Structure 1
Amino acid sequence: MTHKNTPTPITLKNSNSTFSFLASGDTFEWIHDSVMINDFHGTNTDGSSNNIYLRIYEENSVHSYPLIGVHSNSTIEASDTNLRFTGTAKDIKYTVTFRLTPFGIWFWDISLSGECQKADVIYSQDIGVASAGSVASNELYTAQYLGHSVFEGNNGYVICSRQNMSQGGTNPYLQQGSININTNAYSTDGTQFFGLSYKKTNVPEALNGNLPNVNKQYELSHIALQTETFSVNGNKEFSFYGICKANHPEAIKEIEYVQEINDAYSYNITGEFVTSPVPTPIIGAPFASPEWNMQQINEQFPNRRLEEIDKDTLYSFFTPSNGHVVLQSKELVSERPHGHILMTNFDMTKVPTGVVSSTNYMYGVFNSQFVVGNTTNNKLLSNHRGLLNVQKNSGQRIFVKIDSTYRQLTLPAAYEMEVSGSTWYYQIEDDILVVSSFATFDRPEIVLQVRSTTGKAYDFIVSNQITAGPDEVGQSFELEQEDSMLIIKPSKDCYTRSYYPDLNFRIRIPEGSQVSDDRVFYNNLAMDPSIITININQKSDFEIVLQGSENNDAPAFEDSYDFNTNKASYDVYYNELASNFKLSTSDANNITADKLNATMRWYSHDALIHFASPHGLEQSGGAAWGTRDVCQGPVEFFLTTGHNSMVRDILMHLFAHQIDEVFEWPQWFMFDRYPIHQEDCHGDVVFWPLKAVSDYINTSGDTTILDEVVDYRSGSKGTPVGKAESILEHIKRAVETIRKRFLPGTSLISYAGGDWDDTLQPANKHLKDNLVSAWTQALAQQTLDLLSNSVVAKDEVFSKELSQMATDIKDSFYRYLIKDGVIAGFLYREADGTSKVMLHPDDTETSIQYRLLPLTRSIIAELANPELAAINVAIIDKYLACPDGIRLMDHPASYEGGISKIFLRAEQAANIGREISLQYVHAHIRYIEAMATLGKADKAWKALMQINPILITESVPNALTRQSNVYFSSSEGCYNDRYEYAANFNKLKDGSIAVKGGWRLYSSGPGIYLRRVIANLLGIRFTNDSLIIDPVIDNELNGLSFTYTCFGKTVTFVYHTNSQTDTPCIKINNEIVSSKPYSNSYRNGGVTIKKDVFLKATESNNELHIFL
Structure 2
Amino acid sequence: MRLKQENNLISIKKGCTQFTFLDTGDLREIKNNEIMINQMIGDPVFGSLSNIYLRIHNGKKIRFYKLLGINSDSKFFYNNESVKWEGKLEGISYKIILTLVTENTWCYKISLDGNGEMVDVVYGQDISIADKGGVLANELYISQYIDHKVLEGKDGYVVCSRQNQRQSCGYPYLQLGTKDVKAVGYSTDATQFFGKSYKRTNREDALEHELSNENYQYELSYIALQTEKMTLDANRSFGFYGVFNNNYEKAVSEIEFDEDKQKAWKYTEAIVNEDFVLIEKVKKSKMIGEPITSNPFDEEELDRYFPDRILEEKAEGKLLSFFTNEHRHVVMQDKEILEERPSGHIITNTVDENNINTEMITSTNYMYGVFNSQLVVGNTSLNKMLSQTRGTLNIQKNSGQRIYIKLEGKYRILTLPAVYEIGQNYSKWYYKIDEDILIVTTYSAANNPDIILEVESEAKKSYHMIITNQLVMGEHEYQNDSLAEIDNDRVILRLDDSSLSSKVYHNLHYIMKLTGSEMEVEKDNIFYEDNKVRNGSFLTFKIKPTSSIKLTISGNLGKREDVIPDYVFEEEKNKFDEFYKRLTCGFELDMENKDNDDLTKINEIFWWYTHNAMVHYAVPHGLEQPGGAAWGTRDICQGPVEYFMATQHFDLIRNIIIEIFSHQFIENKEWPQWFMIDDYHMQQEDCHGDVVLWPLKVVGDYLRVTGDYDILNELIKYRNTDGSITGDEETLLEHVKHAVDTIKQRFMYNTTLISYAGGDWDDTLQPANEELKKKLVSSWTVALAYQVIQQLGEVLQPVDGIWSNELIGLAESMDKDFNNLLIKDKVVAGFAYFEEEDHMEYMLHPDDNKTGISYRLLPMTRSIISELVTKEQADTNMKLIDENLNCTDGVRLMNRPARYKGGVIEYFKRAEQASNVGREISLNYIHAHIRYIEAVAKLGLADEAWNAMMKINPILIDEKVPNAQIRQSNTYFSSSEGMFNDRYIYQDNFDMLRNGEIGVKGGWRIYSSGPGIYLNQLISHILGIRITSDSIIIDPVLSEELDGLVLNYNYKDIPIKWIYHIKGNAGKVTKVMIDGKEMYLKLINNNYRQGGISIDKNTFENILKQKGIVDIYVE
TM-score tier by shorter-chain length is over 0.9
Match of 2:376 in 1: 371
Offset of residue 294 of structure 1: 2.2
- Aligned counterpart in structure 2 of residue 939 of structure 1, from 944, 952, 977: 944
Q: How does 1:22-41 map to 2 (within 5 A)?
A: 22-41=22-41
- Per the TM alignment, residue 1085 of structure 1 is displaced from its structure 2 partner at its CA by 2.5
Distance in structure 1 (CA, Å) of the matches to 2:691 and 2:60: 63
Write the distance in 1 (CA, Å) between the matches of 2:351 and 2:8.
Answer: 41
Q: What does 1:936-975 align with in structure 2 at a 5 Å threshold?
A: 936-975=941-980
Structure 1 253/1005 Cα, relative in aligned 2: closer, same or farther at 3 Å? Answer: same
Q: Deviations over 1:544-599 (max 9, x none)?
A: 011101125244112x3221111100001111111111111236542111111111
1:544 to 551, 554, 557: 551
Using a 3 Å threshold, how does the CA distance of structure 1 residues 1101 and 460 change in structure 2: closer, same or farther? closer
Q: Helix, strand or coil: the match of 1:203?
A: coil
Could you say which residue in structure 1 is the equivalent of 2:718? Answer: 712
> Larger deviation: 786-795 or 401-410?
786-795
| Matched residue SS, 2:1055 | strand
* 696-705 vs 899-908, which moves further: 696-705
Counterparts of 1:972 and 1:1061, CA distance in 2: 34
For residues 1099 and 794 of structure 1, do their structure 2 counterparts lie closer, same or farther at Cα, with a shift above 3 Å needed?
closer
1:220 and 1:525 map into 2 onto residues whose CA distance is 32
Q: Which runs of 5+ in 2 are unaligned?
A: none
Residue in 2 aligned with 1:810? 815
Q: Is the 8 A contact 1:1074 1:1093 kept in 2?
A: no
Q: Does 1:664 align with 2:664?
A: no
Match of 2:467 among 431, 455, 462: 462
The answer to whether the 8 A contact 2:34-2:168 is kept is no
The corresponding residue for 1:58 is 58
Contact 1:1064 1:1086 in 2 (8 A): no
Q: SS in structure 1 opposite 2:877?
A: helix
Report the Cα offset of residue 462 of structure 1.
0.1
Instruction: Report the alpha carbon displacement of residue 832 of structure 1 after superposing the two structures with TM.
Output: 5.0
From 650, 659, 666, give the equivalent of 2:656: 650
For 1:428-443, list aligned pairs within 5 A. Answer: 428-443=433-448
Q: How big is the shift at 1:7? A: 4.1
Verify the 8 A CA contact 1:103 1:264 in the aligned structure 2: no
Q: What is the RMSD computed on CA atoms of the aligned residues?
A: 1.2
Alignment of 1:314 with 2:319, yes or no, is yes
Contact between 1:829 and 1:835, CA under 8 Å: does it hold in 2? Answer: yes
- 1:105 correspondence with 2:105: yes
Deviations 1:887-914 (A, max 9, x none): 0000000000101100000000000000
SS at match of 1:536: strand
User: What corresponds to 1:878 in structure 2?
Assistant: 883
Q: Say which of 265, 275, 278 aligns to 2:278.
A: 275
Which structure 2 residues correspond to residues 566-715 of structure 1 after superposition, within 5 A? 566-586=572-592, 588-715=594-721
Identity %: 46
TM-score, normalised via structure 1 length: 0.99
Query: What amino acid maps onto 2:38 in structure 1?
Result: N
- Corresponding residue number in structure 1 for 2:540: 533
Aligned partner of 1:315: which letter?
Answer: L
Aligned to 1:445: 450
Distance across 1 between alignment mates of 2:642 and 2:1068? 28
- Name the CA distance, whole Å, in 1 between partners of 2:834 and 2:1070: 47
Give 1:1058 shift: 1.1
CA distance in 2, matches of 1:1048, 1:422: 30
Asked whether 1:1024 is paired with 2:1033, we answer: no
CA distance in 2, matches of 1:1099, 1:661: 50
1:44 correspondence with 2:51: no
* Inter-partner Cα distance in structure 2 for 1:927 and 1:981: 24
Question: Aligned-pair distance for 1:444?
Answer: 1.0
Question: Contact (CA 8 Å) 1:424, 1:436: kept in 2 or not?
Answer: yes
Q: 1:763 to 1:169 in 2, by over 3 A?
A: farther
- SS of 1:837's equivalent in the other structure is strand
Instruction: Assess if the C-alpha contact under 8 Å between 1:627 and 1:665 holds in 2.
Output: yes
Secondary structure class of the residue paired with 1:724: strand
Give the distance between the partners of 2:243 and 2:1040, measured in 1 at CA: 63
Structure 1: tracts of 5 or more residues without a match: none
1:917 paired residue among 914, 922, 927: 922
Q: Does 1:163 align with 2:163?
A: yes
> Secondary structure of the equivalent of 2:206?
helix
The TM-score, its normalising length taken from structure 2, stands at 0.98
User: Per-residue displacement from partner, 1:854-908 (whole Å, max 9, x unpaired)?
Assistant: 0100000011110000000000110000000000000000000101100000000
Q: Is the 8 A contact 2:1038 2:1067 kept in 1?
A: no
Map 1:297-446; keep pairs closer than 5 Å: 297-446=302-451
Residue pair 2:1068, 2:1092 contacting (<8 A) in 1 also = no
Q: Structure 1 123/971 Cα, relative in aligned 2: closer, same or farther at 3 Å?
A: same
Is 1:927 aligned with 2:932? Answer: yes
8 Å contact 1:504–1:552 — kept in the other structure? no
Corresponding letter in the other structure for 1:826: F
> 2 CA distance for matches of 1:904 and 1:1100?
56
Quote the offset at 1:100 in angstroms: 1.1
Alpha-carbon displacement from aligned partner over 1:323-368 (angstroms, at most 9, x marks no partner): 0000000000000000000001232101111110000000000000
1:751 Cα offset (Å): 0.3
Superposition deviation, residue 260 in structure 1:
1.1
AA of the residue aligned to 2:454 = Q
For residues 942-976 of structure 1, what are the alpha-carbon distances to aligned partners after superposition, in whole Å with 9 as ceiling and x for unaligned?
00010000000011000000000010000000000
After superposition, the C-alpha distances for 1:672-728 in whole angstroms (9 at most, x for unaligned) are 11121111110000000000111111111101111111111111x211121111111
Contact 2:478 2:536 in 1 (8 A): no
Give the Cα separation in 1 of the matches to 2:911 and 2:1067: 47
Secondary structure in 2 aligned to 1:551? Answer: coil
SS of structure 2 residue aligned to 1:1045: coil
| 1:112–1:588 CA distance, 2 compared to 1 (3 A) | farther
Letter in 2 for 1:543: K
User: How many residue pairs are counted as aligned between the two chains?
Assistant: 1106
Alpha-carbon shift at residue 392 of structure 1 (Å): 0.5
**For 1:517, which of 514, 518, 523 is the aligned residue?**
523
CA shift at 1:1101, angstroms?
A: 6.3
For residues 610 and 1053 of structure 2, the distance between their equivalents in structure 1, rounded to whole angstroms, comes to 19
Distance in 2, matches of 1:1100 and 1:581, equals 17
1:861 matches 2:866: yes
Aligned to 1:900, what secondary structure does the other structure show?
A: coil
* Cα separation, 2, equivalents of 1:486 and 1:244: 45
Conserved in 1, the CA contact under 8 Å of 2:6 and 2:534?
A: no
Residue in structure 2 matched with residue 564 of structure 1 by the alignment: 570
Partner of 1:492: 497
Correspondence for 2:140: 140
1:1075 & 1:504 partners in 2: Cα distance?
58
Deviation per CA, 1:184-233, whole angstroms, max 9, x where unpaired?
11100000000000001000100100111110000000000111111001
| Contact 1:848/1:893, CA 8 A, preserved across alignment | yes
Cross-structure match for 1:187? 187
Match of 1:822 among 814, 822, 827: 827
- Which amino acid in 2 is paired with 1:171? Y
Native 8 Å contact 1:517 1:533 kept in 2:
yes
Amino acid at match of 2:670: E
* Cα distance between partner residues in 1 of 2:598 and 2:5: 50
CA deviation vs aligned residue, 1:238-276 (integer Å, no higher than 9, x gap): 010111111101111100100011112222474641111
SS at match of 1:1104: strand
Instruction: Report the secondary structure of 1:101's partner residue.
Output: strand
Show CA shifts across 1:814-871 (max 9, x none).
Answer: 1110000110000000125200111011111111000000010000001111000000
Q: How many angstroms apart in 2 are the aligned matches of 1:1069 and 1:12?
A: 81
Aligned AA (1:580): G
Instruction: State which of 1070, 1079, 1084 in structure 2 corresponds to 1:1078.
Output: 1084
Change over 3 Å in CA distance of 1:1064–1:104 after alignment to 2? farther
